[in-house]
Amino acid sequence: MGSHITLELDVLELFIANASVLIFAWSCFSDELLGLMNILLKLSRSTTEFSWSFSYGVLAMHRVGSTGNTNNSTRGRKEKRLTYVLNDFDDTKHCAGINGLAVLKSAASDGSDYLFTGSRDGKLKRWSLAEEAVTCSATFESHVDWVNDAVLVGDSTLVSCSSDTTVKTWNALSSGTCTRTLHQHSDYVTCLAAAEKNSNIVASGGLGGEVFIWDIEAALASAGKCNDAMDDDTSNGISGSGLRTISSSNSISLHPTQTQGYIPVSAKGHKESVYALAMNEGGTLLVSGGTEKVVRVWDPRSGSKTLKLKGHTDNIRALLLDSTGRFCLSGSSDSMIRLWDLGQQRCVHSYAVHTDSVWALASTPTFSHVYSGGRDYSLYLTDLQTRESVLLCTGEQPILQLALHDDSIWVASTDSSVHRWPAEGRNPQRTYQRGNSFLAGNLSFSRARVSLEGSTPVPVYKEPTLTIPGIPGIVQHEILNDKRHVLTKDTSGSLKLWEITKGVVVEDYGKVSFEEKKKELFEMLSIPTWFTVDTRLGSLSINLDTPQCFSAEMYSADLNIVGKSEDDKVNLARETLKGLLAHWLKKRKQRIGTPAPANGDLLSGKDVTTRCLTHSRIEVDGTSENDAVVYPPFEFSVVSPPSIVTEGTHGGPWRKKITDLDGTEDEKDFPWWCLDCVLNNRLPPRENTKCSFYLHPCEGSTVQILTQGKLSAPRILRIHKVINYVIEKMVLDKPLDSVNADGNFPPGLAGSQLQHQAVGDGSFRPGFKPWQRIRPSIEILCNNQILSPEMSLATVRTYIWKRTDDLVLNYRVVQGR
């Protein structure tokens, strides 16, 4: 049965113009919907680029290229964002689904084999493989979005692709060195393919319908030669060499989009997204597939199309080629696996094994058997000649990737763990001797019918032989009202409380109700929202955008900062930036070899109590003395340091741990407003941080104060300061004899009315005469509700006053106190 979806034009325009992330429930996620969204992408690209991703049971659309968009636009340029990603205490594990697997076998007989994993947390990891144990020996961190695939080239080059639209090369045997970033794709890069015997050739495909063939050796060789030219060209707004594009008519045109001195071959012909690539050993044949439901065959040496194979009825999600390039296997969202004879240009076999989309394929070295996994959580082994199939195992998550390793197979899924299962890769016939095999049908409904009839095969293996455990990814979050803590829930159902200004977990609540815990942690506080949170990487990403991020302030007393005047205001974003960049500034001072100016010297929080900080105030114009201390509430962990994700004027977005910053980063790497804040103590103009209010006596009260009319004070001013203000205006000029025995003050306190008075941050002034130190008990009310002295004006306005006009407060003397 088909489903009809109608979108009104105005809704579509709103969808295109305003949406940055749209979430669709798992119940509506299907490959048909994915096809519809690709159509919507075509409509949307005239104004804004969007792409789709899937994680933890949801389909998400994200704006592509929101940073550094070079297209002509009448809209104002948006300032670059700075994001910091909070890392778990055990950073040796992934915290999101695994999209890429690659096995590197040691050349030495006694050497260790390696498994490389690429995750939706944006990282790649290298695992040293032993018979009964696996250890993480390196983490490769540079991508700023999901890693979608990874392949090995030659003896020591790892190539990865990402939803950040880049392809990166790494020294696979290093501690995590990125050797080159290749910017060519206009949209998410979804898949890679490598030629095993031609160790230089790698192909990449993505959602933009683009397929590029890279000579990795040439690309790496050109990196050093063109650095100076790149700087000159980029500063002048000039692009580098043109890119050869082979169109559907095989005509060649030049596109000035490559700025790195290297020109990859472009196989142009796809009209829609590409999800799968495969290449033969010699690199002379390339196949691609995607949402067009056809297998395209290319000559990667020239980028020319050779043929197109039709047969699948839904998106093609996985492809394999045999070593000779004659036979091709394809896995599709129509649940079918097809075997193609490229010489005969036709499908020679169809295998109905799965009950849902096929997302991953791996073959034995002789291409006689295929391992397949997908959305039905199942891993099957199928004999391509006899059609005999067997269910090897079932998991708890959809299978995303497979990698054969001797007589085992590594299985990656939307979970953050990777499992090793027996596979008998050298002699797969042994598996069939265990029984429970069946003959694969040749029509997709035949397998589904068998499943409905209750004759589902029994898996051969119940437990994996080895597991590389991951960390449950964060799937739900709530920013608490203090705007310093975030409550999170992960895929295991556990709740944690994070302090985002330190980057650490302060409470682990275990598996309890998220809603109940959220209610329990509720505080009647009103602090401006100065950051946003994203959990797409399976961890907390804290986004800072100027000038909004500088809107939140707190008094130092509320942050328990020892040695600092309690009335000093602390800008949360500025102090957070100082904490994030403390290591960078230290390295920067060492690199330039001269003492940094006072406004750039960030000290450890341990030195706070040794300095007099009572006069350090932050002014928007930057004229005041810079407060150079990193306070304890903003000291980030060096054991599990956060990673910065940002972008400067050159090179595109990047990601690096704060402890890995070497001091060479400058305005080409950081947003200008970030450096201006940390180095020059300048904050951008912000919205009004004052709150206007009226202060009147309660109805029937005979108490008056000298000042009447509209008052103005910082939004964070506490009610106890207002109480002090009332007391000052009541008693400073009157001796205690004028106070009645019941504590009331006589009416008629003379004094001129001062309009628009400013309520200062100072408390009861020192130097009072003894009779002035005896304070009456004052209550402040709003809407007839007694206010706590610890409430701020902003909190009163938000939760008590609940109106847009000027706040009205009432005061009275408490009888009998």
pLDDT of residue 208: 92
> Which residues lie closer than 8 Å to 634 by C-beta, 6 or more apart?
501, 502, 575, 576, 578, 579, 605
Residues of the chain with pLDDT under 70: 1-77, 109-110, 222-261, 444-455, 594-627, 707-708, 731-775, 815-817
Q: What is the pLDDT of residue 448?
A: 54
pLDDT at 817: 55
Model pLDDT, residue 35: 55
CA-CA-CA-CA torsion for 785, 787, 791, 796, nearest 10 degrees? 30
455-493 pLDDT per residue, tens: 678 899 999 999 999 999 999 999 999 999 999 999 999
152-173 per-position pLDDT tens digit: 998 889 999 999 999 999 999 9
Q: Is 596 exposed, middle or buried (0-12, 13-18, 19+ CB in 10 A)?
A: middle
Strands 265-267 and 243-246 turn out to be: parallel
CA distance 108 to 119: 29
Q: Structure pTM?
A: 0.80
pLDDT of residue 4: 37
Provide the pLDDT for residue 232.
43
Please state whether the peptide bond connecting residue 770 to the residue before it is cis, i.e. omega within 30 degrees of 0. Answer: no
Residue 523 backbone phi and psi in degrees, to 5: -130, 140
Answer for the pair 288, 273: CB distance below 8 angstroms, yes or no.
no
The arrangement of strands across the sheet holding 274-279 comes to: 274-279, 286-290, 294-299, 304-310
Specify the pLDDT at position 273: 95
Contact 651, 142 (CB under 8 A): no
